[in-house]
Chains A and B, each alone.
Chain A
């Protein structure tokens, strides 16, 4: 009797993400061309007027609007393979160069922001959930209100209050102009400039995950094993970590990957407001000056970032639940 070869879940996931990747590449290619009245189909027109002819030429070479659709796509793919993302109107430089230059600042802001806000949010949410009584939790409304505020608005407020009015923090940039990587005190300077944007990012991202953790905790709290743990005299800390957090993690991990993507978006807006030289500032310039190639590059990179983060989260989830709670240890 033939044995059926089971496709391991890991392989299935990789194929799925690969398909998503292809879909994103295709969409970032197709989308601008599908929008009615887009500049790619009206090369000689109003758009061509303000742009120097050399740039226009490169634009034409990269986008090739005269070629049929499929050939355009092949050209696009080939360019992607060469890491050629086109030429930026505004910066007069290759898009890829601009983006990779900015990427390190975005990672510097968004990765710590993500980790800190997630950890803090779970901490707050679980404690809130365990302390909640029939009248609900006192922190819930403030959290909901904070969650509703658009990130850029919070960044703007923080910049006004702490950057300009109270002068507690530097109000913009990643480091003081003039100081370079080789100057002494560079690291400290970077840290000082990072602080306010990071705080704003964390504050704007904490509420959603905290509320998620709070709701999950309310549910898990009612389980028999939580009260029984108390009867056994297991310490409060252990109950919180081993009984509550361990059991809400599977539930929130799925939604967590979505929050991560929102965090990426949020960090871009914080960067834009604080003129922090990451992808966010690039985005602001691109939209203000209608720099299409740059916009497209940013779209592609941020979508890829999103897919990567989702993939990482899912793999974490799979590792966590790989412990098969149903199979005996020796089997």
Chain B
């Protein structure tokens, strides 16, 4: 599903080399490492987000296609759940509007049941759908962002430190949520929490 060889990110003062990765479809791969070791940067590079360094590699294939050539088409295949999602939601739209636009953009229909199940798994009340981002707590926002990432049924789900969503929701709930997705979705998760990684991931790569 994802092949990454010879990945390197060059900053002005240092160069980071990453271990090669071969990830099969349906796998759950954890990336561990201390903060600041470059986990987020690599994920951002895969997602195509602008960041300060220069990304280079020998091979980077997503579902057999060269990631670097994909451009915006990659967003049909993957979902990215960033670490600090406080500002990832449009202050002028309700959660329901976010949901509808996401479904519309991915050609999916509004399946009430599936949505409610997904919300429940993330301990989000259905009434929250009519709220604006300013009315939600930080943890609720982070979980809602995760919800949106999942609801578009991506082939690859990339998560950066989802444990920052832990205010009400417990580790067990996150693990069970992610485990449910596994098999249908390939998951890459970066986390500094060894506990979370060992419970959820099949494979752990250390940076």
Contact = CB atoms under 8 A, between A and B. Distances in A.
- Whether A and B touch (Cβ < 8 Å) is answered with yes
B48 to A, nearest CB: 9
Interface in A281-331: 323, 325-329
B106 interface: yes
Nearest to B87: A224
Contacts of A325: 91-92, 132-135
B105 A233 contact: yes
A300 B51 CA distance: 56
A223 interface: yes
A231 B131 contact: no
A232 B133 CA distance: 17
B152 interface: yes
B194 interface: no
B187 to A, nearest CB: 16
Contacts of A191: none
A247 B91 contact: yes
A325 B132 CA distance: 6
Contacts of A243: 90, 93
Interface residues of A, number: 23
A225 B132 contact: no
B131 A329 contact: yes
Contacts of A224: 82, 85, 87-88
Contacts of B87: 223-225
Interface string A206-225: 00000000000000000111
19 contacts: A225-B88, A225-B89, A228-B145, A230-B72, A232-B75, A232-B105, A232-B149, A233-B106, A234-B101, A235-B104, A238-B105, A242-B97, A243-B90, A243-B93, A247-B91, A326-B132, A328-B131, A329-B130, A329-B131
Contacts of B135: 325-328
Contact of B102 (A233, A246, A329): A233
Interface residues of B, number: 32
A231 B80 contact: yes
Given A235-B104, A242-B93, 19 more contacts: A223-B87, A224-B82, A224-B87, A230-B72, A230-B75, A231-B79, A231-B80, A233-B152, A235-B105, A242-B90, A242-B92, A246-B90, A246-B93, A247-B92, A325-B92, A325-B133, A326-B134, A326-B135, A327-B135
B92 A232 contact: no
Nearest to A228: B88
B81 to A, nearest CB: 9
B49 interface: yes
Given A233-B76, A247-B90, A242 B134 contact: no
Contacts of B80: 231
A328 B133 CA distance: 11
Nearest to A328: B135
Interface in B100-129: 101-102, 104-106
A90 B91 CA distance: 57
Nearest to A326: B134
Interface string B13-46: 0000000000000000000000000000000000
Given A246-B92, A328-B135, A228 B82 contact: yes
B148 interface: yes
Contacts of B49: 227
B196 interface: no
Contacts of A223: 87
B1 interface: no
A150 to B, nearest CB: 38
B47 interface: yes
Nearest to B90: A225
